[in-house]
Amino acid sequence: MTAADAAVEAAATTDTLLVALDFDGTLSPLVDQPMSARMTPAARAVIDELSALPRTVVALVSGRSLGHLREIAEHTDDSPVWLAGSHGAQFWVPGAGVESTPDDTADLALRDRLQQEVTARTSGMGGVWIEPKEYGLGVHTRTADAETARAVRELVDGLVAGAAPTWRRRTGHDILEFAFRHEGKDSAIARLRDRVGASAVLFAGDDVTDEDALRSLGAEDLGVRVGGGETAASLRVDDIDAFVAVLEAVARLRRAHSG
């Protein structure tokens, strides 16, 4: 048995397993139109399978706002899958729904003003899409040329630095994000672990923001990096299909162990 196989088996046979997964690039291919993202059929099938197993909790942990995450994940009110949106600032709990969040009136007003200003200032830039987020905004440049992408990042960096210097800045695959809430995927994993009483966590992601969560994992956990890039993960796979195969192995081992 290889070290990777042993790590997968250890996670799969733990008492209570939390399977917490990034969405874009991990379960769904990266797409030019962000709201058209959907899980691959094989990814959806194994998520459904894991969700039905005893002492197994599945959660999606995303930088997307909760509403957008529910839409792209085709997440229904009766779903057993937990959601952590906005990098862990928002939660949807099975059987209870959306958890209330603090009333950040002044921050929300600044968010609205910056969303409007950034949208207006970038309206003539080809291939640029401004995504309104619950606690800030995202600047997508997937279909922009390199010079336009550089110019829009410089523009938005300057606007936010002047108006909201304490906001958290994040970068990802062709996206620049700003938020007045500072939660990260590491805090989301910690909160989910505590809420469900997990004895081990399997977390997987494909981007820079996922490294916060991967670095926070303990020796009993399994971190998976999907694709290239520097990582703290103990296991790397080439693509979504290869990661789905890992999840299928976890489901198979877990079913046998609980049976």
Quote the pTM value.
0.86
Q: pLDDT, tens digit, for every residue of 147-183?
A: 999 999 999 999 999 999 999 999 998 999 999 999 9
Same domain, 78 and 16: yes
> Which residues of the chain are modeled with pLDDT < 50?
none
Structural contact between residues 83 and 91, judged by C-beta atoms closer than 8 angstroms: yes
Same domain, 199 and 75: yes
DSSP characters over the chain: --HHHHHHHHHHTSSSEEEEE--BTTTB---SSGGG----HHHHHHHHHHHTSTTEEEEEE-SS-HHHHHHHTT--TT---EEEEGGGTEEEETTTEEPP----HHHHHHHHHHHHHHHHHTTTSTT-EEEEETTEEEEE-TTS-HHHHHHHHHHHHHHHHHH-TTSEEEEETTEEEEES----HHHHHHHHHHHHT-SEEEEEE-STTHHHHHHH--TTSEEEEESSS----SEEESSHHHHHHHHHHHHHHHHHHH-
**Total domains present in the chain:** 2
Same domain, 133 and 15: no
Same domain, 12 and 86: yes
- The CATH number of the domain holding residue 126 is 3.30.70
Same domain, 84 and 154: no
Same domain, 196 and 75: yes
The pLDDT, as a whole number, for residue 248 is 98
Q: pLDDT, tens digit, for every residue of 26-51?
A: 999 999 998 999 999 999 999 999 99
